[in-house]
C-alpha cells in the first residue's frame, strides 16, 4: 500500500460546526469553545496553554477539509493516489465523549460522504480511530486550582486511576471511563463504516500523545498530570488496554460475520532510529534502551517478545514507576494480537553514554525545519530490521514518514530538494529492507497529503506533499492579545498572551476558507512515480508533466494564492494562462 495520510484535527477545520464537540486540542490552543458540547470554558476569551509554542494558531479553520473534501478527493484522484489514511474526530461523532449524551448524526454522515467519495474515486481508505483529539467532556480541568488526581468525581481522560496503598496511582485500565467510552465509540465506527473500510488503526503514536503530553508540547499538558515520570505511564497503560478492548470487539465482530476475515486491525506506534555513536558497549546499550523505552513501551505488551506480553525488562529495572498488567490482561493481550505492525518513522540520532547519562547528537545529518527531524534513510532500514528481529514476522505497515520545511511561497516548492531527497532515499532503503533483508514491509504512507496544523508548532512547519495556501487572516475565535494564559506548571491562569497572539500570518481565518488552494511540490513527482501515473495531471495545455511540476505552478481548488509577484488566481477561468488543474 502506497499512499499519504492526514489527521482530523490537523485538516478539517469547522471546529464549531456540524454538531462537533470541544476537544482537548481546542482547549489547549485557546479556541473559543463557549457553548460547545463538553467545553470547560464558560466565558471568552478562553485560556491558552502556556506550553503551546506557536501561540495564536488553532485548528479552527485549518485546511477547511470539512467543506472542501470533495475538491480534496478530486485532487487525490488526479494525483493517482490509491490509498489514503485519515482519522475520525471523536468529538465530531460523540460530542461530549459520553455515549449516553448522544451521537452526532451530522458527523457520522460527513465521514460516510468522505468515504463514499474516496471509494468512488478509486481510493482505498484506512481509518485511524484516535489521532489525539480526545473529547474535552472526558477530561476536566481546573483553570484556577488543579483538580485532584485519581478522583472518580472528575473526568480523568487517559489518566483514569485509583490510589494504591503505597501512594502511587493505579491505572483503572479496562474499567476506566475513557476506555469504556473509547470502545463504544470504536464499535459505533465499525458498525457504521465497517462494510466500506477494511483497515483500522486503534491509535496513532501512543508514545507521542502520552510522553509529550506532560509539558513537552502536546495536549493536554495540565495539572495535576505534569510529572513526566508518572502520568504518561498511567495514560499509556490505559491506552494499551483500551486498544486491547477494541481488538477483542473486532474479533468478536469477525466471528459474528459483521466484519470479514479480510478486515484488519492494527495500532500505529512511532520510533526514530537511535544509532550508537561508537562501538562501545555502553553506547550500544543506551541506544537499545531508548528504543525499548519508546517503541517497546507499547509494542512489547501488544505484540509480545518471546511469548511474554509485558513492558520491556529494561523499563522494569530502571524506572521508579511503571504500572503492572494482571495475568489475565497479559493472557488477553497474547490472544488478541493485531494483524499488522503500524510504524511511523521520521529521522535518526546518535546516542552516547557517559558518566551515568546518555546524550543524543546529529553530527553530519541534514535537518528539516523541525528541531527533532534529521534525515538518515539508513536509520529507517535499521529500524525495520529491529522490528522484524524483535517482534517476528508481522507485516509492517509504514504509516508515516515525512519532511518539514517553512516555505511561504507556492513556487518555492518547485525546489523541494529536501523532501524529494527524503522520499527518494527512504523509499530506496525500504526496498532494500524488503529485498535484501527479508523484511515483510507492506505499506509506505507519506506524511502528509498537504501542509496543515502541525500541533504545537501551528502552521510554522509544513510537512505537506502539497503546499497549502492558508489565506492568513484574523480569527475572532482564536487567541488574541487579551487571551489569558493557563500556566501548565502552576495550574493557574496567569497573565495574558500579548504580542505573541497579535502576530500576523499565524493562522487561517474564517473569512474565505473555501478559497484555499493546494499546490504541487516537485517531491510529489517521486511519490506519483511510486504509486502509478495520475489521471489528468498533465494540465490543460498537455505540457510535459515534469516540466509543469518543476517550472510552473499546478494548483487545485477555486481561489487565489499569494506569490512574490502578487496575487494569482487558481480557477477554471485561469486555464488559458496558468497551469492549473480544476477541482
- In whole angstroms, what is the distance from residue 338 CA to residue 478 CA? 40
> For each successive 10 residues of the chain (583 residues), what is the average pLDDT?
98 98 98 98 98 98 98 94 98 98 98 98 98 98 96 98 98 98 99 98 98 98 98 98 99 98 98 98 98 98 98 98 98 98 98 95 97 98 98 96 94 86 96 98 98 98 96 96 98 97 94 94 88 53 48 80 84 46 41
Question: Which parts of 392-483 fold into alpha helices (H)?
Answer: 417-435
10 Å CB burial of residue 487 (0-12, 13-18, 19+) is middle
- In whole angstroms, what is the distance from residue 210 CA to residue 227 CA? 12
C-alpha grid cell, residue 39: 467545553
- In whole angstroms, what is the distance from residue 434 CA to residue 437 CA? 6
C-alpha grid cell, residue 320: 521508579
Question: Which parts of 355-436 fold into alpha helices (H)?
Answer: 377-391, 417-435
Would you put residue 293 in left (φ > 0), alpha (ψ -120 to 50) or beta?
alpha
Q: What is the 3-state secondary structure (H, E, C) of 500-547?
A: HHCCCCCCECCCCHHHCEEEECCCHHHHHHHHCCCCCCCCCCCCCHHH
3-class state of residue 76 by DSSP? helix
- In whole angstroms, what is the distance from residue 311 CA to residue 421 CA? 36
Is 422:373 a contact under the CB 8 Å cutoff? no
> Would you state the pLDDT for residue 582?
38
The catalytic residue among 205, 292, 429, 568 is 205
> Catalytic residue at 400?
yes
The catalytic residue among 400, 429, 461, 469 is 400
> Would you state the pLDDT for residue 552?
65
C-alpha grid cell, residue 381: 532500514
Is 491:222 a contact under the CB 8 Å cutoff? yes
- In whole angstroms, what is the distance from residue 248 CA to residue 183 CA? 10
- Residue 454, CB half-sphere, CA atoms under 13 Å: how many? 24
- In whole angstroms, what is the distance from residue 431 CA to residue 424 CA? 11
How many angstroms separate the Cα of 36 from the Cα of each of 106, 128, 182, 247, 314?
A: 15, 24, 20, 31, 44
> Would you state the pLDDT for residue 544?
44
CA-atom Rg of the chain in angstroms: 23
> Would you state the pLDDT for residue 54?
98
How many angstroms separate the Cα of 285 from the Cα of each of 50, 270, 292, 356, 383?
A: 36, 20, 10, 12, 15
> Catalytic residue at 205?
yes
- In whole angstroms, what is the distance from residue 100 CA to residue 2 CA? 39
Is 227:149 a contact under the CB 8 Å cutoff? no
Amino acid at each position: 500500500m502506497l499512499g499519504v495520510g492526514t489527521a482530523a484535527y490537523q485538516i478539517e477545520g469547522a471546529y464549531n460546526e456540524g454538531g462537533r464537540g470541544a476537544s482537548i486540542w481546542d482547549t489547549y490552543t485557546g479556541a473559543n469553545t463557549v457553548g460547545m458540547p463538553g467545553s470547560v470554558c464558560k466565558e471568552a476569551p478562553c485560556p491558552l496553554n502556556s506550553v503551546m509554542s506557536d501561540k495564536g494558531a488553532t485548528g479552527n479553520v485549518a485546511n477547511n477539509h470539512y467543506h472542501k473534501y470533495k475538491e480534496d478527493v478530486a485532487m487525490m484522484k488526479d494525483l493517482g493516489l490509491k490509498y489514503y489514511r485519515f482519522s475520525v474526530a471523536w468529538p465530531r461523532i460523540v460530542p461530549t465523549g459520553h455515549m449516553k449524551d448522544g451521537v452526532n448524526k451530522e458527523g457520522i454522515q460527513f465521514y460516510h460522504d468522505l468515504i463514499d467519495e474516496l471509494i468512488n474515486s478509486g481510493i482505498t481508505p484506512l481509518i485511524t480511530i484516535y489521532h489525539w483529539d480526545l473529547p474535552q467532556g472526558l477530561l476536566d480541568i481546573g483553570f484556577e486550582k488543579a483538580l485532584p488526581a485519581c478522583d472518580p468525581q472528575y473526568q480523568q481522560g487517559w489518566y483514569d486511576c485509583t490510589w494504591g496503598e503505597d501512594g502511587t496511582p493505579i491505572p483503572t485500565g479496562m474499567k476506566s471511563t475513557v476506555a469504556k467510552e473509547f470502545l463504544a465509540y470504536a464499535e459505533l465506527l465499525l458498525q457504521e463504516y465497517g462494510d466500506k473500510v477494511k483497515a483500522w488503526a486503534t491509535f496513532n503514536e501512543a508514545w507521542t500523545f502520552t510522553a509529550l503530553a506532560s509539558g513537552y508540547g502536546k495536549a493536554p499538558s495540565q495539572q495535576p498530570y505534569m510529572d513526566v515520570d508518572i502520568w504518561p505511564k498511567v495514560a499509556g497503560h490505559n491506552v494499551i488496554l483500551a486498544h486491547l478492548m477494541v481488538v477483542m470487539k473486532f474479533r468478536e465482530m469477525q466471528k459474528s460475520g459483521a466484519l470479514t476475515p479480510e478486515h484488519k486491525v492494527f495500532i500505529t506506534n512511532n520510533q526514530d532510529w537511535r544509532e550508537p555513536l561508537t562501538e562501545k558497549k555502553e553506547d550500544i546499550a543506551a541506544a537499545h534502551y531508548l528504543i525499548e523505552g519508546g517503541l517497546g513501551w507499547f509494542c512489547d505488551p501488544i505484540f509480545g517478545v518471546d511469548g511474554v506480553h509485558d513492558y520491556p525488562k529494561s523499563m522494569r529495572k530502571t524506572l521508579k514507576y511503571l504500572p503492572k498488567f494482571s495475568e489475565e490482561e497479559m493472557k488477553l493481550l497474547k490472544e488478541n494480537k493485531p494483524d499488522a505492525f503500524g510504524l511511523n518513522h521520521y529521522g535518526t540520532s546518535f546516542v552516547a553514554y557517559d558518566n551515568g547519562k546518555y546524550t543524543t547528537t546529529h553530527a553530519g545529518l541534514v535537518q528539516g525545519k523541525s528541531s527533532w527531524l534529521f534525515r538518515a534513510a539508513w536509520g529507517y532500514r535499521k529500524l525495520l530490521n529491529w522490528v522484524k528481529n524483535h517482534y517476528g514476522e508481522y507485516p509492517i505497515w509504514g504509516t508515516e514518514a515525512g519532511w518539514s520545511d517553512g516555505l511561504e511561497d507556492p513556487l518555492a516548492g518547485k525546489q523541494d530538494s529536501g523532501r524529494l531527497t527524503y522520499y527518494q532515499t527512504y523509499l530506496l532503503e525500504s526496498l532494500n529492507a524488503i529485498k535484501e533483508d527479508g523484511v515483510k514491509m507492506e505499506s509506505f504512507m507519506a506524511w502528509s497529503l498537504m501542509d496543515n496544523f502541525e500541533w504545537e508548532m501551528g502552521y510554522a512547519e509544513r510537512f505537506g506533499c502539497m503546499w497549502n495556501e492558508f489565506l492568513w487572516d484574523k480569527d475572532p475565535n482564536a487567541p488574541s492579545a487579551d487571551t489569558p494564559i493557563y500556566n501548565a506548571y502552576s495550574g493557574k491562569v496567569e497573565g495574558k498572551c500579548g504580542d505573541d497572539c497579535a502576530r500576523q500570518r499565524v493562522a487561517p481565518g474564517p473569512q474565505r476558507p473555501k478559497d484555499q488552494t493546494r499546490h504541487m511540490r516537485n517531491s510529489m513527482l517521486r511519490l506519483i512515480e511510486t504509486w502509478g501515473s495520475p489521471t489528468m495531471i498533465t494540465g490543460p495545455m498537455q505540457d510535459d508533466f515534469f516540466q509543469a511540476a518543476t517550472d510552473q505552478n499546478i494548483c487545485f481548488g477555486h481561489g487565489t494564492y499569494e506569490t512574490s509577484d502578487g496575487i494569482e488566481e487558481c480557477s477554471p477561468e485561469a486555464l488559458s494562462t496558468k497551469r492549473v488543474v480544476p477541482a
